[in-house]
Structure formats: C-alpha cells, structure tokens
C-alpha cells in the first residue's frame, strides 16, 4: 500500500473533527461576548437594587442620628458579593465607609441621593456604591466557561456519533472491499464478494458496488466457460486441419493411393519389421500397359479415369489393414504385401491383374479395356529398399518384354 494512501473514511473523520472544533470555538467565542454584556447588565442591576433597597433604612438612621446603625447598614451592604466599596456622605459633613476594595480611578460609583424619611425630595446625604471587580470577573469567567464547556461537550458527542456511523456504514465496508480486491488473483476471479451489513440496513451505494462485482464476476464466468468451449472447438478444428494436411501430404490427389514420399518413409519401416520379427514381406510393381496410347488417343482425362479405375481395384481387393499401395510415378504403382510370402503375393498380383483385365472404363461413351503387368519379389534378409524394388522392377520389365498383361515372380 502506498505511503500516500489514506482511507476516505479517515479523511472524512479528521475533517469533521477539525471543522466541528473550529465551529464550536467560533460559536463559543460569540456566546462569550454576549455573556460579557449580559453579566455586565446583570451586575449593574443588582448593584442598583442593593442601593434602592437600603435607602429608606439609611434615611431613618441618619434622621434619628444613629451613627452605629448607619455603619452596620453600610457593612451589610458591603458584604454583598457584587459590592466592593460603599461610601455615605451625610449633609452635615460626616462620612461613613465600608468594604475591602478601595475605589480606583477606573471604577465609577453608582450614586444615590438620600431624602428625609417619608419625603420624595430633599437631601440628607449621598450614597456611593462601587462594584466588586473580582466578583464581576469571576461571574463573567464562569458564564464563558459554562458556554464553552457546553459547546465542547455537544461537539464531542456529535462528532463521536458521526464517526461511529461513518465507521460502521462506510469505513468497514470499504475496508472489506479493498481487502477483497487486493486478494484477487487469476484463479480467484470468480470468488464471490460477501459483505455483512447491520440489521435493518437500507440499500445504498455500497450495495450497488457489491452488485456490480457480482455482475462482473458472472460475466467473467460466462466468458471463461465460452472461452473453454471456444478453445476446445478451435483445437478440434486444428486437429482436423492437421489430419487433413497430413492426409493430403501423404496421398496422391488423383488416385487416393499413397504418394511416393510416404512410400519412401513407410517401406523402410516395413523392411525393419520384417527383418526384426523374421516375417515375410513382398512387393509388386504394377504398370498399366500401353498407357501412353490411352493418353494420346483419348486424352489425359481418359488416362486419369484409367488410373482411378486401377486404384479402385486395388482398394477393393487388397487387405485394408495389412496391404497398402502407392502411386510410384505416372502409371506405375507399388503394392506392399506385409506378412505375405512370394507365392501368396503372386496370387494376389494375379488376382489384381485379372480384375484389371475385366475392368471396363468408359470415357466419352467409349469403352476402354485395359491391362497391367506385374513384377513380384519377396524380401530376403539383407535386402535394402533399393534392392527389393530393383528386383520387382526388373521382373516387371521382363513381363512387359514378354508381351505384357502378365505376372512374373522372382525365381
């Protein structure tokens, strides 16, 4: 796996955590600003309420000239957490104070005029109340901390739920699919992709991907099956073509007999087998009599028909699984008679000769009577192919010199 690789779900989770935290800080900051204004207003209202609620008692105490009571009342006001310092200046010039935080230039007093008891106006003195800065900051920090903590907890819970569902619905299925794809090999292409989803799950894009894999694998299965069938068919056609080519390369196209090339290959095997197992083997050279006259008088087409007729006689009368015949050249044929001694070979050649003599070939409504001469020789130990063929060919020559249409065996 590449070092630059990062799962989609992990990237989404990180992005959600980062942006959610940023949004929580932004909203918390705005909330903190509003909390400051709110705390400031509340603080001022509480200070004014303290002052208004104590003015009637202070008015009576000043009117009755009770300095001790006035001082106790100021001490009681100064004990309020919102109050930092209290100063009362009586119209006679006497001053009373209470509180632990002396006023500074930065603080502004909330001032109240004290009228005589039971009168809405008049002046017995002036009450100055200063806020407690430490209490104000504590209150403000408390409100800001509560706001930030609330947004932090809410953000954490939302992000945790989002990450949980992302992992369950997206990360785990994608990781399973990625592992499946990584393990695919040519021999496992058709292994089905199985993906377990939670109970009550509703189909989504992940299921479409799984369905796509199934369609793809079904297609691959079908293609492989058709490919095997196609390969078998092509192999059969190739084998048939090879057999046809082999047959054409070894058979004379006019007569259907073996050609001379195959004869030269096969006769060697026949001689080796005869010598190894000491079995008899004979060959017969056959030449159609006066074949040149047939071509000259009736045309080469008639000559072809004569050759086909003679070859047909050979195929009918010879043993199909033992004997075989090749067109040696022109109108000459060589008949190989395996497991056959000279006398039996002469009988076979004579039977062939008589059949040829009795065969009538019709060419252009003309009947042609043909004959053939045979020279028959038996293989003797040590004979080469050339020697054996030479013996049969010599006998054929003698047969032709003796008047043709006859069979001459070797002495």
Alpha-carbon span 257 to 259, nearest angstrom:
6
Q: How many CB atoms lie within 10 A of CB 404?
A: 14
Q: Do 127 and 58 meet the contact criterion of CB atoms below 8 Å apart?
A: yes
Q: Do 280 and 323 meet the contact criterion of CB atoms below 8 Å apart?
A: no
Q: What proportions of the chain, in percent to the nearest 5, are helix, strand and coil?
A: 60, 15, 25
Helix orientation angle between 133-166 and 8-63, rounded to the nearest 10 degrees:
160
**159 to 11, 20, 152, 175: CA distances (angstroms):** 14, 7, 10, 21
Write the CB contacts of 346 (distance below 8 Å, at least 6 apart in sequence): 376, 407, 409
Q: Do 395 and 408 meet the contact criterion of CB atoms below 8 Å apart?
A: yes
Alpha-carbon span 214 to 53, nearest angstrom:
83
Q: Return the residue matching tokens 């009550």.
A: 200
Q: What letter does residue 167 receive in the DSSP assignment?
A: I
Alpha-carbon span 348 to 286, nearest angstrom:
12
Q: Which two tokens stand for residue 26?
A: 């932004």
Catalytic residue positions, numbered: 331
Alpha-carbon span 127 to 120, nearest angstrom:
16
Secondary structure of residue 55 in the 3-state scheme: helix
Secondary structure of residue 100 in the 3-state scheme: coil
Alpha-carbon span 274 to 346, nearest angstrom:
18
Taken as a whole, the chain contains a residue count of: 411
The DSSP string of 169-226 is IIIHHHHHHHHHHHT--GGGTT--------TTPPP-HHHHHHHHHHHHHHHHHHHHHH
Q: Do 71 and 187 meet the contact criterion of CB atoms below 8 Å apart?
A: no
257-270 burial string, b = 16+ CB within 10 Å, else e? Answer: bbbeebbeeebeeb
């Amino acid at each position: 796996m590449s070092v630059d690789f990062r799962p989609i779900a992990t990237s989404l989770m990180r992005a959600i955590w980062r942006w959610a935290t940023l949004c929580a800080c932004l909203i918390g900051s705005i909330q903190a600003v509003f909390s400051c204004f709110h705390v400031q207003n509340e603080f001022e209202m509480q200070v004014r309420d303290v002052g208004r609620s104590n003015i009637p008692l202070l008015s009576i105490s000043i009117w009755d000239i009770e300095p001790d009571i006035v001082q106790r009342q100021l001490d009681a006001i100064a004990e309020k957490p919102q109050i930092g310092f209290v100063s009362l200046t009586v119209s006679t010039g006497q001053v009373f104070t209470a509180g632990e935080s002396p006023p500074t230039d930065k603080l502004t007093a909330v001032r109240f005029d004290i009228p005589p008891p039971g009168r809405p106006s008049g002046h017995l003195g002036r009450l100055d109340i200063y806020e407690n800065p430490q209490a104000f900051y504590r209150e403000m920090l408390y409100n800001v901390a509560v706001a930030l903590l609330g947004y932090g907890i809410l953000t954490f819970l939302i992000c945790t739920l989002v990450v949980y569902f992302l992992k369950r619905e997206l990360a785990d299925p994608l990781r399973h699919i990625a592992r499946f794809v990584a393990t695919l090999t040519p021999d496992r292409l058709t292994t089905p992709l199985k993906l377990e989803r939670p109970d009550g799950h509703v189909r989504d894009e992940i299921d479409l991907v799984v369905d796509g894999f199934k369609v793809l694998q079904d297609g691959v299965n079908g293609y492989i099956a058709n490919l095997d069938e196609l390969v078998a068919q092509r192999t059969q056609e190739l084998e048939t073509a090879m057999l046809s080519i082999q047959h054409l390369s070894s058979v004379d196209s006019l007569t259907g007999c073996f050609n001379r090339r195959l004869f030269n290959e096969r006769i060697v095997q026949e001689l080796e087998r005869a010598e190894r197992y000491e079995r008899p083997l004979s060959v017969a050279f056959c030449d159609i009599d006066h074949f040149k006259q047939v071509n000259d008088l009736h045309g080469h087409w008639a000559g072809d028909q004569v050759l086909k007729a003679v070859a047909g006689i050979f195929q009918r009368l010879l043993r199909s699984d033992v004997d075989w015949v090749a067109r040696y050249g022109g109108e000459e044929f060589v008949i190989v008679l395996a497991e056959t001694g000279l006398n039996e070979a002469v009988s076979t050649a004579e039977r062939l000769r008589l059949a040829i003599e009795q065969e009538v070939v019709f060419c252009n409504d003309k009947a042609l009577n043909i004959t053939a001469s045979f020279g028959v020789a038996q293989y003797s130990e040590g004979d080469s192919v050339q020697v054996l063929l030479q013996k049969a060919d010599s006998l054929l020559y003698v047969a032709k010199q003796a008047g043709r249409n006859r069979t001459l065996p070797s002495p």
